[in-house]
Amino acid sequence: MSVYDTNSESDTGFADFVKGGGVGLANPAVSKSRRRLLDLINRLHSTGAQVDIDLPQIAVTGSQSAGKSSLIESISGITLPRATGTCTRCPTECRLASSTETWKSIISLRFIKDANGQLLGTARNEQFGEVIHDKAEVEERIRRAQRAILNPNRRSTDFLEGEDEDLPENLLSFSTNCVSVQITGPGVADLSFCDLPGLIASVGSTGNEGDIKLVKTLVESYISKPSCLILLTVACETDFENQGAHHLAKMHDPEGKRTIGVLTKPDRIPPGDEAGWLNFIRNEREPLENNWYCVKQPSSSDIKNGITWAEARTKENEFFAMTTPWAEVDPMYQRYLRTSNLVERLSNILSDLISKRLPDIQVELEHAMEGALDQLAKLPKEPSKNPLHEISALLAAFSMDVSKHVEGKPDEEGILQSIRPAQEMFKRDIRGTVPQFRPFERSVAGDQVLFAAPSFLSNEEDDKAGYDGGGEAFHDCICVDEVHTRTLHARTRELPGHYPFVVQTSYILTFTEKWHTPAKILCRSVYGVLTELINRLITEHFGSFGQQLLEQRVRVCVQEHLKKQLEQTEARIEWLVKLEALPYTLNTHYLSDYTEKFLAYYKGARSKQEHGALTSALESSHSTVSEILSGLNTVGISGVQGEDLAKLLPADRMEASLRIMADVRAYFQVAYKRFADNVPLAIDYDLVRGVDRGLLATLSERLGIYGSNGKDICEELTQESPQVAGRREELMKKLERLQSASEELMGTS
């Protein structure tokens, strides 16, 4: 059984009683199976697993001078260190075991945390001094062991010998590390307990106010656990309402299911107040599931007079058997009086709790280990012992990933899929610069701005917006008479009917000059999409590595690399735009074909405008055509077909201008398709694919990992962030504790 005492009182200890040969309440009826359960729980506590899982235990709580130290000493047969006020400043665990061998005690230091207050893996148990065979030496050894616990920065052996004044001042006020006292011998009870720092109500003028909260937190870390049985010690000499330990216990066990009450010092009840305390024994006041008990320990004068353990137990029996009102308590409540009854009840309750909890403890251990492993798996990969190799591997993996993306991935969020909308917009913008020629004079073209789009383009363009016959504003259209005027102004020494090529060139420049902006917009759009992708890949590959220093440096290097590729790409686009300022093509067949088609298109539209009546008559009246052909035959003109009649119309004075319009419009068809392909190709080659070319070599060179200082640079880059390193260490220590506890359980299965 584990008894955890949360207070050290100021009354005198049982030194003389212990020296006189008194021992604990040995219970020979305790079964071997119960002893094995108790030993198992003690071993689990030795691993430190109580930090992670809920282990069965008993915590004794009480206000100062509540008599619980006397109770513990009566049970254990040893004397605890005493002083005025609170003297217990770290847990002191005692493990008692009955044995036929000579009485002995081994005192050890158990460190659950290191000198910096960080949890260790498996708790470290360190024997403090030689084996003790004289009970009178235990108190002093425990006191020195507590001093060693409070000074974790010094060797524990420094506190084994020497006078008190030679020992250093305590570094800590309190500690969660504990002193473990193992006692075996004839007649020793099979149980354990732990004396914890007592709850502090005030610290006085020389105390530290922070200690009040520290002690309260330490006590609550025990009694707040569901498998902790709370042994609440209350002194009958003080008003019940004034004893703060009860309020703390009730806060964590409001229904009283795991609290066992103990009334001490019943001989100091003021006359006339006995009935009020009997209501606790009858479980009528502050009822508890496991009831209230009452014990009577020897007085200070009895101990000084050398009372023996047997005499103390006899006097306790006489007190409850002969003192009113305890002697008059109904027989059914007599079992809640005397120390022996309390110890037996505690032993039964704890044994039952251990038996019920063991299967759950195994499951909880497995779940806790799985949880710790899952959390470890979510942490960034632990730094390698070879930082250069690790960084090289990371850079290579990043470079390969970039290469896969720029080559194209069958994913709607791929780089090629992401830039396609911008490419389509660029193509529409270039097509939108088509010259809007109108084969009509400006004076009559107002009613002819909208006319049928060329049918021969229907299979080529999927978007007719802005094209011939489209809805361009009237002032943006170029009328045939305006073309004619420009040709006349451009003539120098040409023969009549001939015009310089500068006219076509000037019109070609009106649309090629507009191509620079859409091309630059496309380049910047692709750069933005590419930058977003690269930054995401940098975060994926390096974001959780080290202290993000590698990520930051890679990001800077890649940004510089991207900007260099952007500058190169924009220079290429400038070059392509300049090329288009000089009209040229070897695709003469394509150009000639479109020139003839556009010339016929413009002539047809103009003919309908100027000779609409004749054309309509010829198209609508077959008899009219026959009459004209018959008349021509009469005057000796034969062989003329109906479709030849239009040729008899007078020559159009705008013939040359229409030809220039057809030349320019046909060249646009050739040039825009060429430019709409070349710019995206250049961007793809110089920017998208360009970011991959030499990326790995660039990163390696700029990071300097293969230089003379490469080793130092790699070590700096691989340093893990303190947060991640701390979390990894914490989880590894937790796994170590849980695995140790699991091995203890498996070893007893």
Rounded CA-CA distance 328/281 in Å is 12
User: Percent of the chain having pLDDT more than 90?
Assistant: 34
* pLDDT the model gives residue 279: 93
* pLDDT the model gives residue 3: 43
Biggest CA–CA distance in the chain, Å, is 167
Tell me which of 406-410, 593-597, 692-696, 716-720 is least confident: 716-720
* pLDDT the model gives residue 52: 85
Higher-confidence residue of 87 and 588: namely 588
Rounded CA-CA distance 394/381 in Å is 12
Instruction: Indicate if the pLDDT at residue 148 is higher than 80.
Output: yes
Contact indicator for 615, 608 with CB cutoff of 8 Å: yes
Helix H or strand E segment including 60? strand 57-62
Ramachandran region, residue 65 (left: φ > 0; alpha: ψ -120 to 50; beta: rest): left
Strand ranges (E), 350-467: 437-438
Q: pTM surpassing 0.75? A: no
- Paired tokens of 646: 């239009």
* pLDDT the model gives residue 6: 44
606-628: pLDDT as tens digits:
877 666 555 555 555 566 667 77
Pairing of strands 104-113, 119-127: antiparallel
CA distances from 21 to 18, 138, 185, 373 (A): 5, 14, 12, 52
How many beta carbons lie within 10 A of that of residue 222, not counting itself?
21
Helix axes 655-683, 415-431, angle to 10 degrees: 160
* pLDDT the model gives residue 204: 57
Contact indicator for 284, 330 with CB cutoff of 8 Å: no
φ, ψ dihedrals at 454, nearest 5°: -65, 125
Tell me which of 53-67, 68-82, 386-400, 503-517 is least confident: 68-82
- Residue 415 identity (one-letter amino acid): I
- Paired tokens of 325: 């009102």
Which long-range contacts (C-beta less than 8 Å, at least 24 apart) are formed by 140-144?
A: 141/107, 142/80, 142/81, 142/92, 142/107, 142/179, 142/181, 143/81
Helix H or strand E segment including 403? helix 387-407
Pairing of strands 57-62, 119-127: unpaired
DSSP one-letter string for 309-345:
HHHHHHHHHHHHHHSTTGGGS-HHHHTTBSHHHHHHH
Helices (H), 543-611: 549-580, 588-610
- Paired tokens of 277: 């305390």
* pLDDT the model gives residue 213: 81
Beta bridge partners of 59: 4, 230
Contact indicator for 208, 37 with CB cutoff of 8 Å: no
* pLDDT the model gives residue 290: 93
End-to-end Cα separation, the chain, in angstroms: 20
Rounded CA-CA distance 583/665 in Å is 12
Strand ranges (E), 610-652: none
CA distances from 190 to 68, 182, 399, 593 (A): 19, 11, 67, 111
* pLDDT the model gives residue 561: 95
Rounded CA-CA distance 451/263 in Å is 110
Rounded CA-CA distance 209/231 in Å is 27
User: Percent of the chain having pLDDT more than 70?
Assistant: 85
- Paired tokens of 520: 């630059």
Instruction: Indicate if the pLDDT at residue 38 is higher than 50.
Output: yes
* pLDDT the model gives residue 677: 96
Contact indicator for 290, 284 with CB cutoff of 8 Å: no
The dihedral over CA atoms of 191, 195, 198, 203, expressed in degrees to the nearest 10, equals 170
- Residue 122 identity (one-letter amino acid): T
* pLDDT the model gives residue 56: 87
417-472: pLDDT as tens digits:
999 999 999 999 999 999 999 998 887 755 554 567 788 887 776 555 445 655 44
Instruction: Indicate if the pLDDT at residue 162 is higher than 90.
Output: no
Rounded CA-CA distance 463/116 in Å is 73
Instruction: Indicate if the pLDDT at residue 325 is higher than 70.
Output: yes
Tell me which of 1-5, 129-133, 358-362, 707-711 is least confident: 1-5
- Paired tokens of 302: 């009895």
Give mean pLDDT, residues 30-42: 75
Tell me which of 198-212, 309-323, 541-555 is least confident: 198-212
- Assign 287 a pLDDT band (cuts: 50, 70, 90): very high
Contact indicator for 240, 246 with CB cutoff of 8 Å: yes
| Domains of the chain from N-terminus onward | 2-371+741-748 (3.40.50.300), 387-609+653-703 (1.20.120.1240), 612-648 (no CATH)
* pLDDT the model gives residue 172: 83
* pLDDT the model gives residue 16: 41
Higher-confidence residue of 32 and 436: namely 436
Contact indicator for 401, 442 with CB cutoff of 8 Å: no
Q: Give me the residue label for tokens 């052996």.
A: 157
CA 250 from chain centre, in angstroms, equals 37
Rounded CA-CA distance 142/121 in Å is 25
Higher-confidence residue of 11 and 457: namely 457
Q: Give me the residue label for tokens 């420094």.
A: 158
For the ranges 122-131, 249-258, 478-487, 515-524, the one whose mean pLDDT is highest: 515-524
Q: Give me the residue label for tokens 């088509």.
A: 434
676-703: pLDDT as tens digits:
999 999 999 999 999 999 999 999 999 9
Rounded CA-CA distance 654/499 in Å is 13
Contact indicator for 598, 661 with CB cutoff of 8 Å: yes
* pLDDT the model gives residue 281: 93
Which residues, in sequence order, are CB contacts of 304 under 8 Å at separation 6+?
Answer: 12, 16
Q: Give me the residue label for tokens 């037996």.
A: 344
CA nearest 69: which of 151, 125, 14, 119?
14
Rounded CA-CA distance 738/51 in Å is 10
207-223: pLDDT as tens digits:
567 777 888 888 888 88
Rounded CA-CA distance 80/591 in Å is 110
Rounded CA-CA distance 657/484 in Å is 5
Give the three-class secondary structure for 253: coil
CA distances from 162 to 149, 178, 332, 460 (A): 17, 22, 54, 104
Helices (H), 171-307: 210-223, 244-252, 274-281, 300-304
- Assign 4 a pLDDT band (cuts: 50, 70, 90): very low
Mean pLDDT (the chain) is 82
* pLDDT the model gives residue 702: 92
- Paired tokens of 156: 């524990």
For the ranges 62-71, 248-257, 518-527, the one whose mean pLDDT is highest: 518-527
DSSP state at residue 611: S
- Paired tokens of 731: 């989880």
* pLDDT the model gives residue 689: 95
